[in-house]
Structure 1
Amino acid sequence: MRLKLPLLIIPLYFSTTAINVAFADIQSKHTKLNFSQRALTTDANPANTALVVKKDDAHVMTGGMINGTASLEYGDLDDLFDAYNKLSGDFEASEPPPDSPTNPIEKPNLIDWDKVFEQYPDLEARIGIIKDEVVSLASLLALIATEGYGKAELGLEAPFLVSTNVYGGSILFGASYTGYSKAQGILEQIQFDAEQAKNELMRIPDFDETDGIQELDLSAGLKMLYNPQNKGIKLIVTNDSLLLVKSARISKINLSYSRAQFENDYGTLYWGIKPTFYNIGMTNVGVRIGDLEDAEAIFDDIKNGDYRYQNGFDVDFGVSFASNNYLIAGHLKNAFESDYSFPKIDRRRFNSPYVLNELDKNEHFTLERQLTLQTALFSEDHKWSFSMEVDANPIHDPMLDEFQWLNFTAGYAADTWWLPSARVGFSRNLAGSELTYLNAGLTFMKFINLDIASTLDTVEIDEQDYMRGLSISLGVQFDY
């Protein structure tokens, strides 16, 4: 398979992954685990830690966790890399930079249109054929631009409850590592001018056999090479469209503090604060479609890429108001909005203002501020829970994809080792991909957690249907 395996395998070089990914947009972290378990993870509302500790339910382990996740997501485009490779045969390779001795990527063979034009000697017909080919190319470019992406996330998290009585509050230490990888297209539009093409083609009868190969400008970056001696014709496209592959490694350490502030007849108000230290490594590879020989091969380049590492600091705040049977909460993430940058891609091969502007956009990443609102209902014994969470605003992940999650989860938490705890959920990205996921999970023998999430949408790859998005999480929890 040309899309699935590279995106699954290559990020494994980065490291392992997280059940609650720091900025997961492939699949929401709010539907994994049950409510009490989620409250003790590295990315949870910091106010909820003290709440879970105070409740001290028999089915909750308040020691530590080690959780891992692997996630994949595809655009709705079959055989993505085949599409890139097909385009590369029509696109002209770039010239090597002035100070570069050789071009490291060989120019692919150009498409020979001799037989096609032998069947259509009339100039008007030739224009029609060229225009059809341009429309085909433009359509393929547009399709790749909107749906032609593949994305993977891998990571690991390890939260540990340090103390439950520090000035009346609880301290939770967390460490996590997340790896991201994404392949996407930056596509320069083709706007074909049939009149200009007609005027250029009308020059063909004037050429003599001794004139040598002629270059005709058909507009929109299309050039025709015409050989008067044998009437051979080749069509090439001069276009700066490119395949961009990005990768990010995010390590973070946080220490959250939470406590109950006051209590009345309706419930208890909790607050929490979570300062976080970040170490973020980022790299990218951009190759013009005209320079592609094998679209999948550039993953070898990204695997050995030169990562640019930067440190950062941010803070989360949380509040929760809860009684024995309900909860209302808010979680403000990334209050400071720290900034990070990818390494600069060599621009000397690109001339298109649009492509250059898109490259500028893809060089920067900000940990944007986001507010998440939460509500939950509990049974008297707290074994049953029903929760809803919604992000109040969309933000971007390190791959610059938008996410804003709406989540519903129902769970049953058993307090015996032989009866599994279970949960089911529903999540939808209200921005970006707008994909919908169904989620299900079990906790075995009180300490092993398994969660699986899958989209309702499918994509066909190598004539087989696969889910457009899939996430698998496995972890252990324990007391001490």
Structure 2
Amino acid sequence: MPLFSLKLLKSDFLKAVAKHNGLATVITFLSLSALSNSAWADIQPRSASQNYSQKSLSNAGNPAAAALIVARKDPHVMTGGSFEIGGGVEYGNLDELFGKIDELSLLFNPPSEGDDGAGSEAPPSLENPDKDYLWEDLFVEYPELEDRLEIIKTKVVTTASLLALITAEGYGKAELTSEASFVLHEDFFGGTLLFGMAYKGNSEAVGIFEEITFDSDYAKAQLKTIPDFDENDPIQEIDLSDGISLFYNPANKRVKMSVDNDSLLLVKATKIAQFSLSYSRNVIQSDAGDLYLGVKPIFYRVGLTHTSTRIGEITDTEDLFEDIKDADFIYQNGFDVDLGIVWAADHYQVGASVNSLFEHTYEFPDFDRRSFTSLKILSQLNDQSSYTMERQLKLEAGIFTDQRHWSLNLELDANAVEDPMHDDYQWFTLTGGYAADSWWLPSARLGFSRNLAGSKLAYVNAGVTVMKFINIDVATTLDTVTLDGSEMLRGANIRLGVQFDY
């Protein structure tokens, strides 16, 4: 059973929020999208916006690398700590997303009480689906019941195809990232002690689609009853199988088709705070190179919530994101550990790290499911009712010149993991850079990254370090998307950070 995602939000949604509630609401909304890559992967890996030395001191780096960077005392690297914020957007390749969901909502609704069908659609023809004429015209043009049946089948297929399209491409998300790391001690029992903290919050609407099983033979038998009604009969609800109904008004021969099933939008939101204390030290020294090990215990404060709305009950998709703000969060505490290892030589280094060793699971609050009858829908709701911080192995390697002025670095997530919204991420990143020693000559980096799972999107990354401590990085996708008739990049990120000594 497919799922489709809205995940936050067309550019028009952001504009609407800003217009309705002002700058304060926009800031609040963005703050709910702050992320930390050390625990969760998302739109774009932050490691792509830093060279190997810089990210080793960040909260998202290999837990073993801080002691290595402190021991090197490179003139172009500040080893006190770092702070970074950033923002980004990413879209699926689908225009007018919210409008399409609202269109489906209208289709799922039968005529309201007292509605004589005057506002309903006239039956279309196969050659001209927009032709406005009555059923009696259709009988003249297509006397066979099979033709009318084909029209109904076409409508059902169109509905299923739209849901399938939203499944594949119907999403948009926005994020704000933040993290801070501080070296507390450079020689704590022979190693380096690093404190880090980060905050993440995001929201997503997950569409759960109940498949439509259309029985043509049964529908044909039901359609045969249409000529039996006269203009004095009330509006007739004709069952066409599997929750598909045709509402026919004999008085004006107008018709409306509706779909009654358990398809719904499940709006989810998370607020996750993270505090870590990592320890790294040199364990082997030799002429060939040095081996460093690191461990990072992490404390999590996780808040989760969600609300559900059947597709037929949706009046305005964008309002769903307003509703989630008023939902009650259930907060849970968790503990996990990251491990890291780095082998460093004069002109290369390789490393590996394991994130979320214990794979702690957090539960979303329960809600009343008695209105749902589909076993498949209930199974999907069960799958969406919890979030597990899955274990992930990260591999990394770098080569560099003397004094590490020029470097080429590679990172690969060995396995895909799910974020709190159940989206898959597995990043490959290649970054080359130049690190300057002077205050006036900027350092620069250029990279490429691709999500090997989930969206499969690729990004080009570029950045500079000004005056040795100010980092500015941007990233854009190689793909474009059409939104509101305008072609734009499917994803873009900007990050600002500082690194410092004290």
In the alignment, structure 2 segments of 5+ residues that lack a partner are 1-7, 18-24, 113-117, 124-131
Q: What is the identity, as a one-letter code, of the residue corresponding to 1:6?
A: F
Mean CA deviation greater in 363-372 or 235-244: 235-244
2:439 aligns with one of 410, 417, 422: 417
Match of 2:28 in 1: 13
The structure-2 alpha-carbon separation of the partners of 1:21 and 1:31, relative to structure 1 and needing over 3 Å to count, comes to same
Cα displacement string for residues 413-471 of structure 1 (whole angstroms, at most 9, x for unaligned residues):
11222111111111111111111111111111212111111111111110011222222
Cα displacement string for residues 319-373 of structure 1 (whole angstroms, at most 9, x for unaligned residues):
1110121101110111111011222243233222222211111111101111101
Q: What is the identity, as a one-letter code, of the residue corresponding to 2:478?
A: L
Q: CA deviation at 1:13?
A: 2.2
Q: CA deviation at 1:129?
A: 1.6
Pair 1:205-2:227 in alignment? yes
Q: What is the identity, as a one-letter code, of the residue corresponding to 2:493?
A: S
CA contact 1:376–1:387 (8 Å) conserved in 2: yes
CA contact 2:9–2:174 (8 Å) conserved in 1: no
Match of 1:103 in 2: none
2:83 aligns with one of 30, 54, 66: 66
1:229 aligns with one of 228, 231, 251: 251
CA contact 1:152–1:182 (8 Å) conserved in 2: no
In 2: Cα distance, 1:152 partner to 1:226 partner: 44
Q: What aligned pairs does 1:324-363 form with structure 2 within 5 A after superposition? A: 324-363=346-385
Secondary structure of 2:402's partner? Answer: coil
In 2: Cα distance, 1:68 partner to 1:93 partner: 48
Pair 1:374-2:396 in alignment? yes
1:220 aligns with one of 221, 242, 253: 242
Pair 1:405-2:427 in alignment? yes
The structure-2 alpha-carbon separation of the partners of 1:232 and 1:110, relative to structure 1 and needing over 3 Å to count, comes to closer
TM-score (norm 1): 0.92
Pair 1:282-2:297 in alignment? no
Q: What is the identity, as a one-letter code, of the residue corresponding to 1:147?
A: E
2:339 aligns with one of 293, 317, 325: 317
Q: What is the identity, as a one-letter code, of the residue corresponding to 2:388?
A: T
CA contact 1:277–1:312 (8 Å) conserved in 2: yes
Mean CA deviation greater in 158-167 or 438-447: 438-447
Cα displacement string for residues 269-328 of structure 1 (whole angstroms, at most 9, x for unaligned residues):
000000000011112222211111111111111122211211100001111110121101
2:121 aligns with one of 112, 123, 127: 112
In 2: Cα distance, 1:254 partner to 1:45 partner: 13
The structure-2 alpha-carbon separation of the partners of 1:350 and 1:243, relative to structure 1 and needing over 3 Å to count, comes to same
Q: What aligned pairs does 1:293-308 form with structure 2 within 5 A after superposition? A: 293-308=315-330
Q: CA deviation at 1:71?
A: 2.3
Secondary structure of 2:220's partner? Answer: helix
Cα displacement string for residues 8-39 of structure 1 (whole angstroms, at most 9, x for unaligned residues):
86784252735746312211122121111100
Q: CA deviation at 1:93?
A: 7.1
The structure-2 alpha-carbon separation of the partners of 1:219 and 1:228, relative to structure 1 and needing over 3 Å to count, comes to same
Mean CA deviation greater in 370-379 or 199-208: 199-208
Identity in percent? 49
CA contact 2:206–2:265 (8 Å) conserved in 1: yes
Q: What is the identity, as a one-letter code, of the residue corresponding to 1:452?
A: V
CA contact 1:441–1:452 (8 Å) conserved in 2: yes
Pair 1:384-2:406 in alignment? yes
CA contact 2:120–2:255 (8 Å) conserved in 1: no
The structure-2 alpha-carbon separation of the partners of 1:361 and 1:27, relative to structure 1 and needing over 3 Å to count, comes to same
1:3 aligns with one of 4, 10, 17: 10
Q: CA deviation at 1:54?
A: 0.5
Pair 1:91-2:108 in alignment? yes
CA contact 1:20–1:41 (8 Å) conserved in 2: no
The structure-2 alpha-carbon separation of the partners of 1:252 and 1:23, relative to structure 1 and needing over 3 Å to count, comes to same
Match of 1:455 in 2: 477
Pair 1:51-2:68 in alignment? yes
Q: What is the identity, as a one-letter code, of the residue corresponding to 1:251?
A: A
In 1: Cα distance, 2:422 partner to 2:66 partner: 30
In 2: Cα distance, 1:173 partner to 1:387 partner: 25
Secondary structure of 2:69's partner? Answer: helix
Mean CA deviation greater in 370-379 or 176-185: 176-185
Q: What is the identity, as a one-letter code, of the residue corresponding to 1:90?
A: L
Match of 2:185 in 1: 163
TM-score (norm 2): 0.88
In 2: Cα distance, 1:181 partner to 1:474 partner: 23
Mean CA deviation greater in 221-230 or 442-451: 221-230
Cα displacement string for residues 146-193 of structure 1 (whole angstroms, at most 9, x for unaligned residues):
221222222311100101001110000001111222233221222322
In 2: Cα distance, 1:398 partner to 1:6 partner: 22
Match of 1:76 in 2: 93
2:158 aligns with one of 108, 133, 136: 136
CA contact 1:394–1:402 (8 Å) conserved in 2: yes
Q: What is the identity, as a one-letter code, of the residue corresponding to 2:487?
A: D
In 2: Cα distance, 1:365 partner to 1:390 partner: 23
Q: What is the identity, as a one-letter code, of the residue corresponding to 2:364?
A: F
Cα displacement string for residues 34-74 of structure 1 (whole angstroms, at most 9, x for unaligned residues):
11110011121110000100110000011122111222222
The structure-2 alpha-carbon separation of the partners of 1:449 and 1:139, relative to structure 1 and needing over 3 Å to count, comes to same
CA contact 1:19–1:474 (8 Å) conserved in 2: no
Secondary structure of 2:86's partner? Answer: strand
In 2: Cα distance, 1:24 partner to 1:160 partner: 22
Q: What is the identity, as a one-letter code, of the residue corresponding to 2:149?
A: I
CA contact 1:214–1:225 (8 Å) conserved in 2: yes
Q: What is the identity, as a one-letter code, of the residue corresponding to 1:113?
A: A
In 1: Cα distance, 2:305 partner to 2:162 partner: 27
Match of 1:25 in 2: 42
The structure-2 alpha-carbon separation of the partners of 1:375 and 1:239, relative to structure 1 and needing over 3 Å to count, comes to same
Q: CA deviation at 1:257?
A: 0.3
Q: What is the identity, as a one-letter code, of the residue corresponding to 1:340?
A: Y
Q: CA deviation at 1:2?
A: 7.3
CA contact 1:342–1:364 (8 Å) conserved in 2: yes
CA contact 1:20–1:157 (8 Å) conserved in 2: no
Q: What is the identity, as a one-letter code, of the residue corresponding to 1:333?
A: N
Q: What is the identity, as a one-letter code, of the residue corresponding to 1:120?
A: L
Mean CA deviation greater in 206-215 or 305-314: 206-215
Q: CA deviation at 1:126?
A: 1.9
CA contact 2:134–2:253 (8 Å) conserved in 1: no
